[in-house]
Structure formats: C-alpha cells, structure tokens
Structure 1
Amino acid sequence: LISNCNYSWVQVACPRLSIDWGSAFDKPLLTPYELATVLEYVPFLTHSYPMDFYANESLGPWTNNHGLHRVNTSKRSKRDHVTIVASQN
C-alpha cells in the first residue's frame, strides 16, 4: 500500500546511505539536500555536492545543525555556575 502512493523515499537517519543503497530501492532514495532542491528551498549546486548533514557549520537548511534550526540562546538569562566544595571535617 505504501509503495503504491509514494514517488520517492528520503533517508534522514544517515543520508550517505542514500548514495550507498540507492540502487536497492525501486523508487528514488533521496538525501535531505536533494529533497530541499526538488522542493526549491535551496538552489542545486553545480560546483559541489554537499555531504555535510552532521557538520556543525553546515552549508544549508537541509541539515539538522544549520543555524536556522538552532535555538536562539541570546534571549535566555545567563545561569550562575555552582561550585561544590567538599567539606574538610
């Protein structure tokens, strides 16, 4: 039933597997970057192919670590650090 209504799969657990295992599927197995380009969220890069899904400084919003997905901590109040010292009895 699922196979009849979908046109592709998107591999989000480990996007590199889309490249490694893509030929094992009867429907296209896309990376998050490829999905973002198909949906026209980002332009397709012709000079490189981003494989930075887990990078802290990723190139685009198709990754979970991109700046658009980070919580803005500048509005949070700063926490005081507590130091625990052992008593000297």
Structure 2
Amino acid sequence: MNEFWTQVACPRLSIDWGTAFPVPLLTPYELSAALKYTSFSLTEYPMDFYANDSRGPWTNNHESHRPKRTRRHLPIVVNS
C-alpha cells in the first residue's frame, strides 16, 4: 500500500514544502484526481482553493459546499 498525505489547511504548502516530507504531500486537487473524482490536466493546474468561483469540489468555497440560499420574504406594508 502506498502512503501519502493531503494538505487541506493551505494547499499551497503542498507545493512550497512538499519535498520536505518523507511521503508525497498532495493538494486537495491532486487527491481528487487520484481518486478519479476529477480529471487531471497536464496543461492547467488549478490554484483556486479559496476562490468563490472555484472550478471543482476539491475547494472549500465550491458551490456544492455552500449552504442553500433561502429567499427572504419582504415585509408587507398595509396602508389604512
């Protein structure tokens, strides 16, 4: 069995400090690709972990992780 770690607190650390660890240190995007939840691209590498319009569910701000918006009712004003 192969061992690896996934850095979820700040994925940029996986890129900056990944070589300092004894096992591979993956970003959430890399883990998502390894588990075949998303496709891996050799030409594009998403660094949108904190973006509000992120491209995949490997990010914490992706639309699929946000609470459903509820529509607020407008107050009704009755004139007498």
TM-score of the two chains, using structure 2 as the length reference: 0.84
Structure 2: 5+ residue stretches without partners: 76-80
Q: Which amino acid aligns with 1:51?
A: M
* Cross-structure match for 1:7: 3
Identity, in percent, stands at 60
* Cross-structure match for 1:27: 23
The CA deviation at 1:29 is 0.3
The CA deviation at 1:6 is 7.0
Question: Given the alignment, which residue of 70, 78, 85 partners 2:72?
Answer: 78
TM-superposition CA deviations, 1:47-73 (whole Å, max 9, x none): 210011000100111000011111111
Count matched residues. 75
Structure 1: 5+ residue stretches without partners: 82-89
Distance in structure 1 (CA, Å) of the matches to 2:46 and 2:35? 17
2:15 corresponds to 1:47: no
The alignment partner of 1:58 has SS state of coil
List structure 1 runs of 4+ shifted beyond 2 angstroms: none
Across the aligned residues of Structure 1 and Structure 2, the Cα RMSD in angstroms comes to 2.0
Larger Rg: 1
TM-score of the two chains, using structure 1 as the length reference: 0.76
